[in-house]
Amino acid sequence: MPVRIGIIGKTNTGKTTFFNAATLLSARIGKFPFTTKTPQRGIGYAKTLCVCRELGVKDNPQNSVCIEGWRFIPVELVDLPGLIEGAWKGRGLGNEFLSVAAQADALIHMVDASGSIDSEGRIAEPGTGDPVRDFYDIEREIVLWMAKIIEGKRKYIEKTIESRRDTLKGALASVLTGLRIDESHVAQALEVSGMASKAFHDWSREDLLTFSTALRKIAKPTIVVANKMDIPLAEDNYKRLVNELSPIPVVPASAEAELILRRAERRGLIRYIPGEEIFEVKDPSKLNEKQKWALNYIQERVLNKWWRTGVQFAVNVVVFKLLRMNAVYPVEDEKRLTDHHGNVLPDVYLMPPDATVLDLAAEIHTELAKTMIYAIDARTGLRLPKDYKLRDRDIIKIVAAARRG
Ligand SMILES: Nc1nc2c(ncn2[C@@H]2O[C@H](COP(=O)(O)OP(=O)(O)O)[C@@H](O)[C@H]2O)c(=O)[nH]1
Ligand SMILES: [Mg+2]
């Protein structure tokens, strides 16, 4: 399953702009490892230093792309409509949106750092809005919604525990599976919230909210993107966000700037690798006045001040810092580093921190996991057991028994 990242926040914070920028890559991928079914789902990319340069080979990527030594690995992005107050009760299709958000592995919570929206998400005079308040407003909706789901199943959970059919942990996890929440998330949340020691039928409304708050944090790791940093008024709010929301990572960004750069790159006007700190105009005489102005604005207001637009960086923080994914390159020929078509370093998979080579085999093909005998580390030629824990940048050959019949 691809890593899935949901983008949440109030209306007009720049979610769709971020989504459009992050999903635009002019380089083409040979074979997409997954498809997206609806318009608000798209393919974004985690960017990592490819192993090709270290090994001095020219690669031929299939499920990802390599741009000047940077490997872009597909991840799924979900652009959600703005949540409004009362979403947890179903206001403004709130329940539907929240359940889509809950299907994500991690969330990007977008706020308008320039303060150009009011508490309802309407466009307002820059500097008048409060992104810290906006953040907490949305977080409250999520927590209340989770609490509502548990509350709605209270009788079922009580009965399950009383009849000893399952533990509290198991019963809670079973009513939350639709939200991609599992027993280990529930167990951690019970510990952190101090609720593990209290009998479920004694939980007060407040206890339920304490537990839901802990569960929200644990099950859906989140970064905040402080958007619209190109507007000078945003700087103070960015500092406030960093101070008040710590330890949640806050990434300063200008989604609009990234969208303009990627579009200009696609049109062949500039050289730009997403996430880089520089762009280069190919032929200044081809730019019109508006384009010149926009690129100059981005250079001065965004790159000179914040180094990068923050869009690619935000996706990377989610994938590599929050989810601690490792980029692993499976090959069929460990000497040539190819698949059976001779493509060099064809694929790369994002694997969770504790994943083993057996998990990698299962990710490639369920059949491969069944027939796998051992694996080989292509760098050293050493044989690896099935339970070898994958590390970032591993290049792995899976050795499987020949299939019978
Ligand atoms: N100045 C500035 N405006 C932005 C930025 N990102 C988005 N916007 C503007 O904010 C408005 C709302 O953007 P949109 O992506 O539709 O927000 P959404 O409702 O959260 O999806 C639009 O007018 C965008 O052009 C940014 O980085 N800087
Ligand atoms: Mg939108």
Q: What is the pLDDT along the chain (405 residues), one digit of tens a residue?
A: 899 999 999 999 999 999 999 999 988 887 777 777 677 999 999 999 999 999 999 999 999 999 999 999 999 999 998 888 899 988 888 888 898 889 999 999 999 999 999 999 999 999 999 999 999 999 999 999 999 999 999 999 999 999 999 999 999 999 998 898 999 999 999 999 999 999 999 999 999 999 999 999 999 999 999 999 999 999 999 999 999 999 999 999 999 999 999 999 999 999 999 999 999 999 999 999 999 999 999 999 999 999 999 999 999 999 999 999 999 999 999 999 999 999 999 999 999 999 999 999 999 999 999 999 999 999 999 999 999 999 999 999 999 998 665
User: How many A from CA of 43 to the centre of ligand 2?
Assistant: 16
Instruction: Identify the pLDDT of residue 76.
Output: 96
207, 117: one domain: no
Q: How far is the CA of 113 from the centre of ligand 1 (A)?
A: 11
**311 φ/ψ angles, rounded to the nearest 5 degrees:** -70, -55
230 and 91, same domain (yes or no): yes
With respect to residue 142, please indicate whether it lies within any of the assigned structural domains: no
In a domain, 374, yes or no: yes
Query: Does one domain contain both 178 and 280?
Result: no
What's the CATH code of the domain at 125? 3.40.50.300
Ligand 1 atom closest to the Cα of residue 20 is 15
Residue 370 lies in a domain: yes
* Burial class, 381, CB count within 10 angstroms (exposed 0-12 / middle 13-18 / buried 19+): exposed
- Does one domain contain both 70 and 207? no
Per-residue model confidence (pLDDT) at position 90: 87
Strand-strand pairing, 70-79 and 41-49: antiparallel
- Decide whether any atom of ligand 1 lies within 6 Å of the 15 Cβ: yes
Atom 28 of ligand 1, nearest CA residue: 228
Q: Are strands 270-271 and 280-281 parallel, antiparallel or unpaired?
A: antiparallel
How far does residue 380's CA lie from ligand 2's centre (Å)? 48
Q: Which ligand is nearest to the CA of 20?
A: 1
* Whole-number Å distance between alpha carbons of 355 and 337: 22
Whether the CB-CB separation of 222 and 109 falls below 8 Å is answered with: yes
Q: Can you say how many angstroms the Cα of residue 267 is from the centroid of all Cα atoms in its chain?
A: 27
- Per-residue pLDDT, 404: 61
pLDDT at residue number 39: 72
Strand intervals (E) in 90-221: 106-112
Whether 9 and 57 map to the same domain: the answer is: yes
CATH value at residue 383: 3.10.20.30
Q: How far is the CA of 21 from the centre of ligand 1 (A)?
A: 11
**Pair 306, 384 in one domain:** no
Nearest residue (CA) to ligand 1, atom 26: 228
Report helix, strand or coil for 108: strand
Separation of CA 66 and ligand 2 centre (Å): 30
The CA-CA-CA angle for residues 14, 320, 246, to 5°, reads 65
Closest C-alpha residue for ligand 1 atom 13:
14
Assess if residue 239 is contained within a domain: yes
> d(Cα 138, Cα 10) in Å, to the nearest integer?
7
Q: Which domain holds residue 192?
A: 153-216
- Of 17, 24, 228, 305, the residue with max ligand 1 atoms within 8 A of its CB, to mutate for a pocket test, comes to 17
- Is 43 a domain residue? yes
Closest residue by Cα to residue 95 from 178, 39, 208, 154: 178
Domain presence at residue 148: no
Question: What span, in angstroms and rounded, lies between the C-alpha atoms of 367 and 189?
Answer: 35
What's the confidence (pLDDT) of residue 34? 77
Task: State whether 103 and 33 are in the same domain.
Answer: yes
Same domain assignment for residues 4 and 105: yes
Distance 18 CA to ligand 1 centre (A): 8
Query: Ligand 1: distance of its center to the CA of 255 in Å?
Result: 7
Structure tokens belonging to residue 199: 């009998």
Ligand 1 atom nearest residue 309's Cα? 27
Give the number of domains in the chain: 3
Output phi, psi for 57, to 5 deg.
-120, 160
Which 3 state secondary structure label does DSSP give 217?
A: helix
Report whether residue 227 contacts ligand 1, using a CB cutoff of 6 Å.
Answer: yes
Residue at which a domain ends, from 323, 351, 366: 323
Phi, then psi, of 203 in degrees rounded to 5: -65, 125
Q: What is the pTM of this model?
A: 0.95
Is residue 108 included in any domain, yes or no?
yes
315 and 359 fall within a common domain: no
Q: 97 and 113, same structural domain?
A: yes
Q: Is the Cβ atom of 23 under 6 angstroms away from ligand 1?
A: no
Domain boundary among 161, 189, 216: 216
Residue nearest to atom 8 of ligand 1 (CA): 14
Same domain, 373 and 293: no
| Ligand 1 touching residue 20 (CB < 6 A) | no
* 118 touches 81 (CB < 8 A): no
Distance separating alpha carbons of residues 131 and 118, to the nearest angstrom: 9
Closest ligand by atom to 9 CA: 1
Q: Measured on CA atoms in the order 192, 197, 200, 203, is the torsion positive or negative?
A: negative
82 lines ligand 1 (CB under 6 A): yes
Residues 77 and 179 in one domain: no
143 lies in some domain: no
Of the three residues 199, 216, 233, the one that is the final residue of a domain is 216
The DSSP call for residue 44 is E
For 62, the 3-state DSSP assignment is coil
Q: Is the CB of 63 under 6 A from ligand 1?
A: no
Would you say 397 and 376 are in contact if contact means Cβ atoms under 8 Å apart?
yes
